[in-house]
Chains A and B, each alone.
Chain A
Amino acid sequence: LTPDMEPIPCKPLFFDLAMNYLELPSLEDKLESPGKKGASITG
C-alpha cells in the first residue's frame, strides 16, 4: 500500500565562502607598546 519510490533531485551542497572574509580589522596601530610610542615622540 505504500506508493512506489521515485527519485527526486537532491538539494545540492552549497558552501558559504563569503563568511571566510569576515575578519576583524587590522589592530596594528592600536597595539603598539606605550614605550615604543614614547621613544618615537621624544626621539
Chain B
Amino acid sequence: MSKDTNPKEAQIKSAYADVNKYGNNREYDKAIKAVNRILGVAPDDQTALHCKVVCLVQLSKFEEAHKFIEKNRLTSLIFEKSYCEYRLNRQQQALKTIDDGIVQPLPPNLKELRTQILYRLERYEECLDSYKDIIKNTSDEYEDERRTNLSAVAANLAVDKNKDVPDVT
C-alpha cells in the first residue's frame, strides 16, 4: 500500500475533524453535514452512524432519529432510542426499550432516563425510590435540578389524600 493516505481516508478524517469541532461548539446543524460527508463514502461507519443519531436528537428531530436507528439496526443505541420514544410521548415503548436491553445494572444515563419515564407514566412510588437511589449515588452538577424533580414526584404523591406526603428532605 502507498505511504500516502488514500483520498477516501483523508476525506473521512477531515470530516471527522469538522464533526468534532462543530460538536464541541454544539453546532449540530453543521456537524450533521460533516457526518453526512462521512456516510457518503463509508455508509457503515458505526461511529458516524452514532454521531448522526446524536445530532438529530440534539436538533429535536426525534422521529427522524428513531427511524434512522431502526433502519440501520443500531441496536447498541438503547439510550438514544429510548430517549426518542420518551420525547415522542411513547412512554411504554421507551420503558420496554430499556428493560429489554438486558443492561444490568443500568448505567447512569439509562437510570436517569428510566426514572423520568416512570414519572411520565405516573408510577410515582417507583419513581421516588429510583430518584432517592440516584441522588444517593451521584455527585454531579445537576444535584439541585434532581432534587427539584424529587419534589415534583412528592407533590404528585401528595395529591392522593389517602397517602402520607413522602419525606424528601
Contact = CB atoms under 8 A, between A and B. Distances in A.
A21 to B, nearest CB: 4
A18 B113 contact: yes
Contacts of B50: 24-25
B54 A38 contact: no
The SS class assigned to the A binding surface is loop
Interface string B32-65: 0000000000000001001100110110000000
Contacts of A3: none
Interface in A1-43: 9, 12-25, 27, 30-31, 34, 38, 42
Contacts of B108: 21
The SS class assigned to the B binding surface is helix
A38 B3 CA distance: 7
B155 interface: yes
Nearest to A12: B152
A30 B80 CA distance: 22
Given A24-B51, A34-B10, A17 B83 contact: no
A15 B5 CA distance: 47
Contacts of A23: 54
Contacts of B142: 15, 17, 20
B116 A34 contact: no
Nearest to A23: B54
Contact of B109 (A9, A21, A25, A38): A21
A-B complex: 8 closest residue pairs judged by Cβ atoms: A12-B152, A21-B109, A18-B113, A30-B16, A15-B145, A12-B155, A14-B152, A24-B23
Given A31-B16, A38-B3, 16 more contacts: A14-B116, A14-B152, A17-B146, A21-B109, A22-B54, A22-B79, A22-B83, A23-B54, A24-B20, A24-B31, A24-B51, A25-B50, A25-B54, A27-B19, A30-B47, A31-B20
